[in-house]
Structure 1
């Protein structure tokens, strides 16, 4: 098991993502699990919008 980070803020590498990574780190530590993938939806926004349209 690992703890994933998913952030949907429209700004790349936002403060929201930084906080999400910190929270995931604390959860991962508490569970004794590694941090898994970090997904910043900003990087995938155009592809997601194209699929939705």
Structure 2
């Protein structure tokens, strides 16, 4: 993940305010999806192990 941040940081600085806003909005959506998937995956794994 640190490598990703190193690549993204210069791009964010080069972006306009609007693009930055869109990026962070997108990032929030992705974070929510990842959380939902993690919870679902945990449930499947726990059910499979029982």
> Which TM-score band applies after superposition, normalised by the shorter structure?
0.3 to 0.5
Which TM-score applies when normalising by structure 1? 0.40
Question: Which structure: larger Rg?
Answer: 2
Write 1 or 2 for the structure with the bigger share of strand.
1
Write 1 or 2 for the structure with the bigger share of helix.
2
